[in-house]
Amino acid sequence: MWLTGLRFALLVWIPGVLPAVNEAEPCSAPDLKNGYFLPVQEFYPHGSHVRYSCDTGYKTTEEGWWATIECQHGDWSDKPECVVETVCLPPVIPNGKFKRNLNGSFEINCNAGYSLNGLDNIVECLSGTLSAVPLCQKQPQACGQPPAVPNAVVIQTYQEVFDAYSTVTYQCRDGFLTQNRESEKTAYCDAGNWVGIPRCTRSARPGPPDTQTTFVSIDRCGEIPHVPNGLPVQQEQRYLKYKCQMYYKLVGPETVVCHRGGTWSELPKCKEDFCLLNTAEYPDLINTGNTFIRNGKTEYPKCVDRWMLNHYVVARCIEGRLRVSECKYQYLSTS
């Protein structure tokens, strides 16, 4: 009997003998109207994937006719939804934004320094399909972000692109002055180039030691740095982490820290991770405007209808380069 009691005591007191009780929380079955999902279960373990599609006359709010969600610690990664096929989903507008009008159309407005590529800025919704979506292209006379100046900041809201003749003001950090012995200097955009960029050199009055060998709290560096097409998703006392928006990927350091000298460490970049398919450039395709294809993904744009054939091309984005096949044909079923 005492051996049985000993075995029981070992199970109670020795760590690691009993099974773990703090496993990730499961998800209950998702709520989906006008659609269905697989596999059908009452509960799904953490990390499970569910695929769903919509009933006839409805479509998903994602890019394809089916979509996937994942169980993450008791919650689904996204809310599955099926909408009426005649509803148009918002367009993707890199370097611009849109406004939905009351009649269901979308008004496109480009960011500063960008303009539409010759198309109208109104995108119509026709039976669930958008008309040609314009592209926001950088203006030839526009300037990119102002050049970085050591020991200085630009004292206005960050922009990736500036209109021609825009001005920005640089301010030197404490203990530094411009060539004219001033704390500020204005530069302007002229034919795509910044003119009047200052240099900030140490003033006669010595400032604090400018060592960059030790990291300090990020609030010592002032305003959070802007990463074009990215957002800070985690802000700890000692570091920042960024995430890129859709169709862009993060390149560079995962964390950004503040140096003792009051400057930020190297910032990551959000680089384009898509190919642009402009159907207007392909006579055999139905012109639906611009389609953005993620790197490594495939789309199947439809060809112009001929002789009751269901035909399409295979468009792939490989390492940032677009590959488009010839039209592939399949007979439509009449049954």
Q: Inform me whether the pLDDT recorded for 3 exceeds 50.
A: no
Confidence of residue 6 (pLDDT cuts 50, 70, 90): very low
Confidence of residue 14 (pLDDT cuts 50, 70, 90): very low
Q: Inform me whether the pLDDT recorded for 174 exceeds 60.
A: yes
Stronger pLDDT, 11 or 98, i.e. the higher one: 98
Closest by alpha carbon to 272, among 96, 141, 95, 139? 95
- Each residue's pLDDT tens digit, 228-245: 998 888 788 888 889 888
Residue range 202-211: mean pLDDT, rounded:
52
> Would 24-84 and 209-270 be classified into the same CATH topology?
yes
pLDDT of residue 222: 82
Residue range 131-150: mean pLDDT, rounded:
84
Residue range 251-255: mean pLDDT, rounded:
80
Q: For the chain, how long is the longest CA-to-CA vector?
A: 93
pLDDT of residue 335: 35
Task: Tell me 12's DSSP state.
Answer: H
- Cα 198 to chain centroid distance, Å, stands at 33
pLDDT of residue 98: 85
- Each residue's pLDDT tens digit, 51-73: 888 888 888 887 778 888 999 98
pLDDT of residue 333: 38
Q: Write the DSSP string, 63-130.
A: SSSEEEEEEETTEESS---EEETTSPPPPP-TTEEEEE-TTS-EEEEEPTTEEESSS-SEE-EETTEE
- Each residue's pLDDT tens digit, 26-48: 899 899 899 888 888 889 999 88
In the chain, domain spans:
24-84, 96-138, 209-270, 274-331
Residue range 258-287: mean pLDDT, rounded:
86
- Domain 24-84 sits in CATH at 2.10.70.10
Looking at domain 209-270, its CATH superfamily turns out to be Complement Module, domain 1 (2.10.70.10)
Closest by alpha carbon to 245, among 260, 226, 261? 226
Highest mean predicted confidence (pLDDT) among 74-83, 160-169, 246-255: 74-83
pLDDT of residue 329: 61
- State the amino acid at position 231 in one-letter form: L
Instruction: Give percent of the chain with pLDDT exceeding 70.
Output: 85
pLDDT of residue 212: 46
Highest mean predicted confidence (pLDDT) among 25-29, 158-162, 188-192, 316-320: 25-29
CB contact burial 137-168 (16+ within 10 A = b; e otherwise): bbbeebbbebeebebbbbeeeebbbbeeebeb
Q: Inform me whether the pLDDT recorded for 293 exceeds 80.
A: yes
- Each residue's pLDDT tens digit, 208-223: 444 445 678 888 888 8
pLDDT of residue 306: 64
- Mean confidence (pLDDT) of the chain: 79
Residue range 117-143: mean pLDDT, rounded:
81
pLDDT of residue 307: 57
And the tokens for 71?
């169980």
